[in-house]
Structure 1
């Protein structure tokens, strides 16, 4: 069992940190809103800290799941950042969906202090975090990944190293690119079935078992047909992720025409007040 810290108790971080505690690890948490950290500590009999530095002090592994590149730099490199108190030989594991650029930057900064850094964005949404069945895509040095992997398996059903620093973030970009295209295609398929006045539920049940089947169809098809979107992964967050994808594509020369189009479709949803709706709300544009 490890003595660890978890920085950031949002929709994903709160249950992830909880799984660490339930699996017997000693967990100290930090959250920008202190009341949330106190609630977590009451729920899981853990400890709280006032700053990232205080939470990370002396810990074997420090986990993090915050909002974006700037938030990540603040909790890692800021005046009260985690690297200022982490001990040599410890590991920082970042679960934020961020850029590959910031992952490489923080990997280098940590290495200068004798600290390991693993970028480890996750997929599976809030339900995956709550149920402890996330997919974790990791970048970094293999020995460092292997040290952290057994602890990450507290909430990860599949925990894999993709490659060097930044590779985990690049894999998450591939994940988001694929999801965007799948949700738009599913939206058009359901919309077509509705206009054709056939039973959408029966159609989805049939084709889910064939070549068109996907996680999105199985988990979002019925709610899309019913027009329910007040749950799941928010459009605002998806746009943040797609912006990361498109920025990286401009850097590496990848052509992402469908991703760019779907990003604009999500912008339409935001304009209609759906920024907090689930990403499956793309179908709303077609009505």
Structure 2
């Protein structure tokens, strides 16, 4: 059993994956005085985290030395699998009572499976804690966090969560945080498509599209996405806050969850088709707002999707 510092002060942290979201989250934690070791497969990202006050590590295994909490923020299930069970992975070094907190967006079934495997191999508990809010909220400590894990493990991370999020919900056991995130991504992913469609229709009808958030403020069409996301689409701002390819990955996982749950999600299925077209056109690394690009010109391919949905 590895000793820990959690009863006497801030927990010591290992942070693996310091990219678009993990980078600002790690920088915030370092700025708040947490002792932080970081690893990223991209040397440039790791160097940026080190410049913010973290200590670099040579591998995931090396990263967890003396850590109380092991934080993951990775782009895919394959990346999580590699970090945990690959060469020089976490499973070679984890010891109870360390806790793994995975901020990645992955499927509920994957969370349950890898959580069980980690606990069986190391005795360490696994919390799935996907986040929402984007890079700016990550840096400001105002993320929305939904978590699955045991009551004991959740109690041990609450002080950390208070430093990175303003809204936290313990949804249930391991995997249930990811269920909540899948449903949230259904709402977000379909809204990217709907808001892009609204921008293009306003433009095509001769309206100043940028005025719509003011027009609908306090009405039924108002909301955070209308006030924060729509203006970026109207400004044709496609700088990545959330990669389009990641949104497609999430929408595909929504479809998997729907199938395994015995229900249907046709709206998110249509949104996934649109993001599939966007990525096939070579736009996977722009922001999800870039779905607007499908509407440029004479988008007969979109008319076909709309007609097939009503057939």
TM-score, scaled to structure 1: 0.94
Q: Which residue of 2 aligns with 1:81?
A: 89
Aligned to 1:248: 257
Q: Deviations for 1:213-240, whole angstroms, at most 9, x for unmatched residues? A: 1222111222322322123211111111
Instruction: After superposition, give the CA deviation of every residue in 1:263-286 in whole Å (9 maximum; x if it has no partner).
Output: 111112123332122212223322
Paired residue for 2:127? 118
Corresponding position of 1:224: 233
Q: Helix, strand or coil: the match of 1:88?
A: coil
2:116 — aligned with what? 108
Q: Structure 1 57/186 Cα, relative in aligned 2: closer, same or farther at 3 Å?
A: same
Q: Give the Cα–Cα distance (whole angstroms) in 2 for the partners of residues 230 and 20 of structure 1.
A: 25
Q: Which moved more, 1:275-284 or 1:49-58?
A: 275-284
| Alignment partners' CA distance in 1, 2:75 and 2:247 | 12
Q: Does 1:156 align with 2:165?
A: yes
1:173-201 CA distances to partner (integer Å, 9 max, x unpaired)? 00110012222222222222222223333
Q: 2:306 is matched with which residue? A: none
1:121-270 superposed matches below 5 A = 121-270=130-279
Does structure 2 retain, via aligned residues, the 8 Å contact 1:31–1:37?
A: yes
Which residue is 2:25 aligned to? 16
Shift of 1:151: 0.8
1:31 to partner: Cα distance: 1.1
For structure 1, which runs of at least 5 residues remain unmatched after alignment? none
Match of 1:49 among 27, 37, 57: 57
CA–CA separation in structure 1 for the residues paired with 2:204 and 2:86? 54
Contact 1:67/1:96 (CA < 8 Å) preserved in 2? yes
Counterpart secondary structure, 2:144: strand
SS at 2:163's partner residue? coil
Q: Is the 8 A contact 1:133 1:155 kept in 2?
A: yes
1:63 corresponds to 2:100: no
Match of 2:291 in 1: 282
So what's the TM-score if we normalise by structure 2? Answer: 0.87
**1:94 to partner: Cα distance:** 0.4
Structure 1: distance between partners of 2:46 and 2:295 = 41
Does the residue aligned with 1:154 lie in a helix, a strand or coil? helix
Please give the root-mean-square deviation of Cα atoms over the aligned residues, in Å: 1.6
- In 2, distance between residues paired with 1:242 and 1:7? 24
* 260-269 vs 203-212, which moves further: 203-212
CA contact (8 A) 2:240 2:288 kept: no
Per-residue deviation at 1:35? Answer: 4.2
The one-character-per-residue Cα deviations of 1:28-59 (angstroms, maximum 9, x if unpaired) are 11111234323322322x21111111111231
In the alignment, the residues of structure 2 paired with residue 138 and residue 274 of structure 1 have an alpha-carbon distance, to the nearest angstrom, of: 31
Contact 1:59 1:87 (C-alpha < 8 Å) held by counterparts: no
Moved more, 14-23 or 77-86: 77-86
How far the C-alpha of 1:153 sits from its partner, in A, is: 2.3
- Whole-angstrom CA distance in 1 between matches of 2:83 and 2:280: 32
